[in-house]
Amino acid sequence: AAARALAPDGDAPAPLPGPTVRLRRNRKAEWTRRLVRENVLTANDLIWPIFVREGVNQHEAIASMPGVERLSIDAAVESAREAHALGVPAIALFPYTDPALRDAAGTEALNPDNLICRAVRAIKETTPEIGLITDVALDPYTSHGHDGLMRGEEILNDETVEVLVKQALNFARAGADMIAPSDMMDGRVGAIRRGLDAEGFTSVQVLAYAAKYASAFYGPFRDAVGTQKTLIGDKRTYQMDPANSDEALREVAQDIAEGADMVMVKPGLPYLDIIYRVKEKFGLPTFAYQVSGEYAMIEGAARNGWLDGDRAIMESLLAFKRAGADAVLTYFAPRVARLLRDE
Ligand code: PBG
């Protein structure tokens, strides 16, 4: 019924014109909502970050990331198989390095038999179809928890880049498909690209953590890889200031010029504006990282019964797609792939 204006007593009420444009018409039933839906999330959009530790048949809980575990290599191999069966295209590996093997120079990063190299070889043997991404940065290997080499309080740039190239080659020789520098040193993408090409690894991709912010949301990750307690100071001389966005575009432009195949914005949900600007301006494959703290917020609230976990997860991932992300690194990846399969 058309709305009626209140009329003085005795007068016939005058009909008010209803809106001719009614956006609700397209939302009236599920079938029409499906027809007009602009973005979809599929398993193709997911990358699963996995924490690896020593031992056999180990599934070690991480207190600040309920539901996420540090896996021994055999268990990580199982997870890779599971991810592939669920249609997840790629996984990203992060090590919990034995504290006894950590030193100021991050030497263990260059060991051809380190945890990540062994995990890469084991997964390649059993599930060669899945994409294997390894993180290049020294923090899981240094006694001070920084991504680079230190002199006094300074994080050295060029000296660190030299080590990062060796670390990238170490992973490529083990069989990594994609190298993901997360260290934020200047010039590392180009140096790694040249290093890979010089050894014939011309088809190994470089996924640059191009716009990586100095964020409080990495806390649970640092628990997972064991750098939370050891980190000296903070990472603000190399990771970006959360106040900046033009600078993110400069970072991305630089990494593209140096040969990045795809770029990443990190963290995710608090930085959707950055994802949007990067995708708009450069139009290259743009990934987002829904980081550990974002995982902890959703999962913590869900476990307390404060929100519907499945719905919050799906909504957050769709938001990345809407902002322009081509893929999302998320600890929810296998759960999401299962939800999508069962929909
Ligand atoms: C370190 C690295 C970090 C993450 C990925 N690689 C943490 C940091 O920079 O301190 C964070 C990922 C997450 O929080 O889930 N190079």
Q: Is 41 in the pocket of ligand 1 (CB under 6 A)?
A: no
Q: Is 135 in the pocket of ligand 1 (CB under 6 A)?
A: yes
Q: What is the mean pLDDT of residues 109-113?
A: 98
**pLDDT digits over 234-276, tens only?**
999 999 999 999 999 999 999 999 999 999 999 999 999 999 9
Q: Is 266 a catalytic residue?
A: yes
Ligand 1 centroid to 139 CA: how many Å? 9
15 — pLDDT class (breaks 50, 70, 90): confident
Mean pLDDT across the chain = 96
Are 45 and 329 contacting, i.e. CB atoms less than 8 angstroms apart?
A: no
**183 pLDDT higher than 50:** yes
pLDDT number for residue 12: 76
**2 pLDDT higher than 90:** no
Q: Is 5 within a domain?
A: no
Q: Is 31 within a domain?
A: no
Q: What is the mean pLDDT of residues 14-23?
A: 91
Q: Is 29 within a domain?
A: no
**pLDDT digits over 93-107, tens only?**
999 999 999 999 999
Q: Is 16 within a domain?
A: no
pLDDT number for residue 1: 46
Q: Is 11 within a domain?
A: no
- Name the one residue in this structure whose structure tokens are 């600007």: 277
343 — pLDDT class (breaks 50, 70, 90): confident
Please tell me the total count of domains within the chain. 1
Tokens of 297: 């917020």
Please pick, among 28, 124, 166, 212, the residue that the annotation labels catalytic: 212
Q: Is 28 within a domain?
A: no
**321 pLDDT higher than 80:** yes
Closest ligand 1 atom, residue 231 Cα: 10
**pLDDT digits over 211-222, tens only?**
999 999 999 999
**pLDDT digits over 124-163, tens only?**
999 999 999 999 999 999 999 999 999 999 999 999 999 9
Q: Is 28 a catalytic residue?
A: no
pLDDT number for residue 24: 98
Ligand-binding annotation for 69, yes or no, is: no
**pLDDT digits over 276-290, tens only?**
999 999 999 999 999
Closest CA to 134 of 206, 185, 190: 206
Please pick, among 124, 266, 279, 321, the residue that the annotation labels catalytic: 266
**169 pLDDT higher than 90:** yes
Strand, coil or helix: 6? coil
Residue type at 171 in one-letter notation: F
pTM beyond 0.90: yes
**Domain that residue 164 falls in:** 40-342
Q: Is 138 within a domain?
A: yes
- Buried b vs exposed e over 58-88: b needs ≥16 C-beta within 10 Å? beeebebbeebbbbbbebbbbbbeebbebeb
* ipTM of model over 0.95: yes
Q: Is 101 within a domain?
A: yes
- The pairing of strands 59-61 and 90-95 is unpaired
pLDDT number for residue 14: 81
Ligand 1 centroid to 26 CA: how many Å? 42
Instruction: Give the domain CATH number at 203.
Output: 3.20.20.70
**pLDDT digits over 19-75, tens only?**
999 999 999 999 999 999 999 999 999 999 999 999 999 999 999 999 999 999 999
Q: Is 182 in the pocket of ligand 1 (CB under 6 A)?
A: yes
Instruction: Look at ligand 1, atom 10, and give the residue with the nearest C-alpha.
Output: 218
pLDDT number for residue 210: 97
